[in-house]
Chain A
Amino acid sequence: MPWRFLGRRLLQAVPVLAIVAVAVFVLLELAEGDAVDAYLAGTGAGDAGLAAALRAEYGLADSLPVRFLAYLERLATLDLGPSLAFGRPVAEVIGERLPVTLLLMGSAVMLSGGLGVLLGGLAAWRAGRAEDLAITVAALVLNAMPGFWLGLLGLILFAVRLRWLPLGGLGTIGADLPPVAAAAELARHLVLPVVTLALTYLALYVRLMRAAMLEAAGSGWVLAARARGLPEARVVLWHMARPALLPVVTMIGLQAGGMLGGSVVIESVFAVPGLGRLAYEAVSQRDLPLLAGILLAGTVTVVAVNIVVDLLYRRLDPRVGAAPGEGGR
């Protein structure tokens, strides 16, 4: 069954990918200026002959339908060719950034999800009291802060004033460290960006968890559990928190899907070479092959994460697996 389920999900991804691929082409086509304009703007000088030669080299001199077909062909064969902005194969350019982005965004989503579940659960458990108010207000304030501002505050406090944490980047340049020390170094560098990102997402999970817990608290099964005389801890953890996790997991799935988009703002502030900055550059350089590559990678992640979420659902909520039409267990 999981294989059929898997196959179906992958098949569903194909039309999605096709629609987005066409949209990317159309949007870049609608934008004023092409890759040559963007390039010449950066070099500060050029002439008509140079522009024409570059357009021919980049394949921008052909008519619109020819270019569209060439683009579709490259997508279909999964060979995106060289990036226009980097002059290297798209797969190579994305491959360099992928692990960093997955690490950064994955840690941030896990941290904010985990923290959100804890704090949201606590707020619901102590609903209406001081703890609830403090958690709710703190989450809202964090939510209202722009990410770059929060990041800069953290940077000025922990990297400039206190000097506890490094300022940005991924490691100390030129330091040749053994693997364990290198991993520790990487972790130290990722603390600020991960925490900043996690804090900006936190409010969402706190609110979701709190609301779902309170909803569960008023449900018949909690009443029944209490009537059976189950200890309070078991009621809260098993009968309230577990069902309340469902919407949280859904949201983690949605957010993780967007993970490959990265975060342009946080990646810029902390100088993390991630996919967010890359996508931004791809757009501003009108780099269609690169943008298509990022899109492909993003689609694959969305599909993969959604499959994982669906599998998680089955663990969390026995009703999902038993539902008719799913084929039973």
Chain B
Amino acid sequence: MQGNADRGGRRAGGMRAAALVAATLAAGFASAEAVVAQEARTGGRLTVAADTEPRNLNPAIVASNGVFFVASKVVEPLAEMDYASGLRGVLATGWEGSADGHTITFHLREGVTWSDGTPFTSADVAFSAMQVWKPLQNLGRTIFADLEAVETPDARTAVFRFARPTPLQLIENALPVVSAVLPRHLYEGTDIAKNPLNTAPVGTGPFLFAEHRPGEFYRLARNPAYRDAGKPYLDEIVYRVLPDAASKAAALETGDIQLTAFSAVPLTDLARLDAIDGISVIPGGYEGITYHITLEINHRRAELANPLVRQALAHAIDRNFIVDVIFLGYATASTGPVPSTARDFYTADVPTYPFDPERAERLLDEAGYPRGADGTRFALRLRPAPWFQMTRATGDYVRQALQKVGIAVELVTADSGAHTAAVYTDHDFDLAIGSPVWRNDPAISTTILFQGGLPAGVPFSNQYGYDDPAMNALIAAAAAELDRDKRIALYREFQRKAETDLPIIHLVDFTFITVARDEVKGVANNPRWATSSWADTWIAR
């Protein structure tokens, strides 16, 4: 990462997660200086393992980590997360919101050009916001739903006008993910959703999209017209498609690839790889991409509509077991829907449900579900989300844990499409193991897990049959609150309400692991490193 001394200190493979998060944050703050201290070398090719091959590589339309992993080097957002300042301007240099919450004004960077030489102006921002983010983007359709117009008084200023008061804090927190700016001159007048550039993006970033051989690799090349003199340091980035996890580990050993991100190598391989000379396991650089493992609960089942039963479920599951055994320490036990790394919003002042199987049994008795003649109280069907090895393993563990307190559990497994339809459209589940993403503001993808009255078919939302007027009112109040401190207070109240009602159970928070060969420098130096621009990443000789 920032140097071998630093890495050596973080090599303990099974480091406990709490210490880990603290260490990575601290290391993150130190990183900016560390990078400057070492003489960055220009040139060379960085080869990394490709995560997926998304059908659409346009981050302005598909705001997902799989897309950002490749496209964030080519297409830039208005602002990016930063360890030191929290948020650092990229295409914007500053912004301010009006007191009434109806306008947000962005001041744009001077001297930026698209890779074809056309100057970048406020018209590109206005076009991207009104024609792409708001109508087409998976997250922007919600966040910019109230965006009425974007005015461009001059080439360096874009004024966003909202129909309803919109908290500046929400927009700021969303910027790194929702604000990838597209070149208007190449998109205007075309069918944007089907534009061929969606698979060969053009942007203002440090790299140009050079080549994609499906099933083999993506290749990005240095953008010679990039505005920061001397950057990027790398000549090329190659993303090699390696579908098999064991092959990825082998490729790191041979040097065929120099880096795997997003925990592409199984956690069980990390200790072995870390012990190899020249390869290091790097847990930081994902603080802005936190995931939860949740127990999703279908309240349409009479037993599960009973709060006592849900509390019993929470007491029956040992979160530390999941952290230690399934995540090998690379996770933290959750206390609620906001992870402890979210320093603004997080509160520990919530009801907690420590591991206590006896208490779980007492609660189940109290709820009117005593053990039957066969020792079983009732039977449930559990659908673990198939996309992470950890969600599947958590399903296995939860099954065992619940059986110990007398709840029979049948595991139902399916592939991604079937799982999504079953849980979020058909409600064909009793319990599910989910993995919602924390996107740095509760209003982006967290409150939607608790909000009532959503139509069926919205993936990763409250399809649980939980609809509480007080909760809905709290979510609505927070969404419209312009004052930063009051907004934070409301979201802390939201966390308390969530943990009191316990409609779903947040089990653990986790981020990802990077494994890299030691010659790769400038790794994990911001909280969304894998999905950032890599302009300051370089290869030592």
**Chain A positions near chain B (C-beta within 8 angstroms):** 31-35, 37-51, 57, 85-87, 93, 96-97, 148, 152, 155-156, 159-160, 163, 166-170, 173-174, 267-274, 277-278, 284-286
Which of A35, A156, A173 touches B238 (beta carbons < 8 Å)?
Answer: A173
Is the CB of B39 closer than 8 A to any CB of chain A?
A: no
Q: Which residues does chain A contribute within 8 Å of B253, judged by CB atoms?
A: 160
Number of B interface residues, CB 8 Å? 61
Cross-chain pairs A/B with CB under 8 angstroms, 16 sampled: A33-B421, A38-B417, A41-B419, A41-B459, A45-B138, A46-B459, A46-B460, A87-B194, A96-B214, A155-B247, A166-B256, A168-B256, A174-B238, A269-B246, A277-B243, A286-B417
A49 to B455, CA, bound (A): 10
Residues of chain B contacted by A43 (CB below 8 angstroms): 62-64, 66, 138
Given contacts A37-B416, A48-B457, 4 further A-B contacts (CB under 8 A): A42-B54, A45-B460, A269-B244, A269-B247
Q: Counting CB contacts under 8 A, is B477 at the interface?
A: no
CA distance A285 to B53 in the complex (A): 13
For A31, give the chain B residue with the smallest CB separation.
B418
Query: In the bound complex, do residue A169 and residue B240 qualify as a contact, i.e. CB atoms below 8 Å apart?
Result: yes
Confirm or deny: B352 has a beta carbon within 8 angstroms of a beta carbon on chain A: no
User: Is B250 touching A33 in the complex (CB atoms < 8 A)?
Assistant: no
Residues of B within 8 A of A268 (CB): 243-244, 247
Per-residue A-contact encoding for B196-238, CB less than 8 Å = 1, 0 else: 0011000000000000011111010000000000000000101
Q: Which single residue of chain A is at the shortest CB-CB distance from B253?
A: A160
Nearest residue, chain B, Cβ from A35: B417
Q: Does B533 contact A (CB under 8 A)?
A: no
For the complex of A and B, the 3 pairs showing the least CB-CB separation, nearest first, are A273-B215, A38-B417, A33-B417
Contact call A174/B219, Cβ cutoff below 8 A: yes
Q: Please measure, in the bound complex, the distance between the C-alpha atom of A180 and the C-alpha atom of B244, giving whole angstroms.
A: 30
CB atoms of B64 and A44 under 8 A apart = yes
Which residues 338-367 of B have a CB within 8 angstroms of A?
A: none
Instruction: Give the residues in chain A near B380, CB-CB below 8 Å.
Output: none
The closest CB in chain A to the CB of B45 belongs to: A174
Contact B243 A271 (CB under 8 A): yes
In the bound complex, residues from chain B placing their C-beta under 8 Å from that of A57 are 193
Task: Tell me the minimal C-beta distance from B61 to chain A in angstroms.
Answer: 10
- Give CA–CA (A49, B136) in the complex, Å: 10
Question: Given A33-B422, A271-B241: A284 and B416 within 8 A (CB)?
Answer: yes
Chain A contacts of B250 at CB under 8 A?
152, 155-156, 159-160, 167
Known contacts A33-B420, A93-B214; A168/B236 CB under 8 A: no
Which single member of A40, A42, A168 contacts B52 (CB below 8 Å)? A42
| Distance A44 CA – B388 CA, assembled complex (angstroms) | 13
Do B247 and A271 touch (CB < 8 A)?
Answer: yes
Closest to A38 in B: B417
A32-B242 Cα distance, complex, nearest whole Å: 28
B378 within 8 A of A: no
Q: From residue A170, how far is it (CB to closest CB) to chain B in Å? A: 6
Once the chains bind, are A277 and B254 in contact (CB under 8 Å)?
no
Kindly list chain A residues whose C-beta atoms are within 8 Å of the C-beta of B55: 39, 85-87
B459 contact from A40, A169, A274, A284, Cβ within 8 A: A40
CB distance from B451 to the nearest CB of A (A): 12
Q: Which residue of A lies closest to B210 (CB)?
A: A174
| A270 vs B250: C-alpha distance when bound (angstroms) | 11
Across the interface, name the chain B residue whose C-beta is closest to A269.
B244
Bound-complex Cα distance A278 to B53 (A): 12
Query: Is the CB–CB distance between A50 and B138 below 8 Å?
Result: yes
CB nearest neighbor in A for B47: A173
Q: How far does the alpha carbon of A286 sit from the alpha carbon of B455 in the complex, in Å?
A: 23
Measured CB to CB, the closest approach of chain B to A57, in angstroms, equals: 8
Complex interface bits, B466-498 against A, C-beta within 8 A gives 1, otherwise 0: 000000000000000000000000000000000
Report the nearest A residue to B199, measured CB to CB.
Answer: A87
CA distance A272 to B241 in the complex (A): 9
Q: How far is the CA of A42 from the CA of B54 in the complex (A)?
A: 9
Select one of B219, B242, B421 contacting A173, CB under 8 A. Answer: B219
Known A-B contacts A31-B418, A41-B420, A160-B253; A47 and B244 likewise in contact (beta carbons under 8 Å): no
